[in-house]
Structure 1
Amino acid sequence: MLNNILVIDDDPAVRGAFKLILEEEGYVVREAENGLQGLEMVERERPDLVFLDLRMPGIDGVETLRRLKAIHPDLNIYIVTAFAAEFMEQLKSAHEEGLQFELASKPLSASQIRNIAQVVHVAKTQEARRANHHKLVLTLYVVSLNTETRRMVEQISALLAGIYEPGHWVFDVIEVLGMPEKALEKEVFATPMLVRDIPEPVLKLLGDLSRMSSVMAAITTQTQGTGVQTIII
């Protein structure tokens, strides 16, 4: 479970804002005022997610990124900055080196900060579940939950419970209101793909959901056999 978040930023007001917002959601938040301090904290305890500034005294955010990835290559890092243009060439070089990171522009709203943490949390949860060989992992992305979509979600959950054995299925619903750019980046808006291996009653309900204006996409991931990914729009 996502729990430990590290904020590396030389501005105490920024660190305080992240800490206040995320601790209200139940996360443990640690703060580092520069890159070197952040590296020391990561070496002592690996965080689940890092929010990283670019313009800082000492080593800048790009160099901090490189050193963080040298410690943990698969570390989840969100670079949050108002100076992306200034560092763009360095960021391109880092990307060409194979360093994986996300980029967001300051200032972030409270809902955007919470949604970033939620997206990472769901990804980590699904990764853990896939490691446990669930037969079906189903993720539904919605703009926002309303009475109609909640009712349909309950129906899908009931159907899955009737079809699959306990522990062999997972159904997650993610609200992405306020973060359409994240949905685009993750290709939530996608061209319909071949549908296979999903029970017909579930497919019917997903089809009904896809016609609702509040639903962005229903994405299903098969975790056994061929590992087929199915996207229903």
Structure 2
Amino acid sequence: MLNNILVIDDDPAVRGAFKLILEEDGYVVREAENGEQGIEMIQDMRPDLIFLDLRMPGIDGVETLRRLKALDESLNVYIVTAFASEFMDQLKGAHDEGLQFELASKPLSASQIRNIAQIVHVSKVNESRRASHHKLVLTLYVVSLSPETRRLVEQISAVLAGIYEPGHWVFDVVEVLGMPEKALEKEIFATPMLVRDIPEPVLKLLGDLSRMSSVMAAITTQTSGTGVQTIII
């Protein structure tokens, strides 16, 4: 389960705010004041989630990200910055290299910080479920559940129940009210849609959901074969 979070930021006030907010929810929070220190710390203990600043003395956040991923490409990294536009070319380069990360804008509210931790927590729960041989794990992230969204969620549940045997599928809906918007400048952070392994009736309903402003993303993973991750934004 998610319990170990690392905050890499040269501003002690920022690190202190993250620590105060997250420790109230029971997380273990460690602090690094620069990229080099953060890299050393993950070698001692792998964090479940990393909050990473961009503008820091020494190596910047993008280079820190590159070195972190070289050590463990599965690390969950949220870059939190007020300087995304300044670093956009470097971020695009990191994305083109295949480095996986999320981007959020400073300042983050307490609820936004908690929501990010919740999303990663749900992801780890789903990893555990996939290890239990579920054929399909579907997680839908919404800003808030509207009546129209609820109706489509019910339809998806009914379709899944008709396609899969009981215990072979999981469908979670996570409300992330107040979540910062993902940085999608020039769509460089948009993940391509992979649809070949999603049942057609479910795919159609997900397409309907993806057009709603309240829906952030629908993420599915099938575990037959090697497993495929699908993100519809």
TM-score normalised by structure 2 residue count:
0.72
Q: Which amino acid aligns with 1:113?
A: I
Q: Which structure has the larger Rg?
A: 1
Cα deviations by residue, 1:115-151 (Å, 9 ceiling, x for unpaired): 111122222221232132113424343433589999x
- TM-aligned CA distance change 1:114 to 1:229, over 3 Å: same
Cα deviations by residue, 1:93-122 (Å, 9 ceiling, x for unpaired): 222222222221110111211111112222
My pick for the range that moved more, 90-99 or 17-26, is 90-99
Cα deviations by residue, 1:190-233 (Å, 9 ceiling, x for unpaired): 9x9998488xxxx8xx89xx7xx99738766554479688999x
State the partner residue of 1:52. 52
Secondary structure of residue in 2 paired with 1:178 = coil
After the TM superposition, list the runs of 4 or more consecutive aligned residues in structure 1 that deviate by more than 3 angstroms. 140-150, 163-166, 182-187, 192-198, 213-232
Matched residues, number: 221
Cα deviations by residue, 1:78-101 (Å, 9 ceiling, x for unpaired): 111112222222222222222222
- TM-aligned CA distance change 1:89 to 1:141, over 3 Å: closer
State the partner residue of 2:102. 102
RMSD value, Cα? 4.1
Which 5+ residue runs of structure 1 have no aligned equivalent?
none
State the partner residue of 1:173. 173
Measure the CA separation in 2 of the matches of 1:153 and 1:96: 34
Measure the CA separation in 2 of the matches of 1:105 and 1:26: 24
Which 5+ residue runs of structure 2 have no aligned equivalent?
none
Secondary structure of residue in 2 paired with 1:70 = helix
For residues 185-196 of structure 1, the aligned pairs below 5 Å read 196=199
State the partner residue of 2:65. 65
TM-score normalised by structure 1 residue count:
0.72
State the partner residue of 2:30. 30
Measure the CA separation in 2 of the matches of 1:81 and 1:88: 11
Determine if contact 2:104/2:181 at 8 Å carries over to the other structure: no
1:18 aligns with 2:18: yes
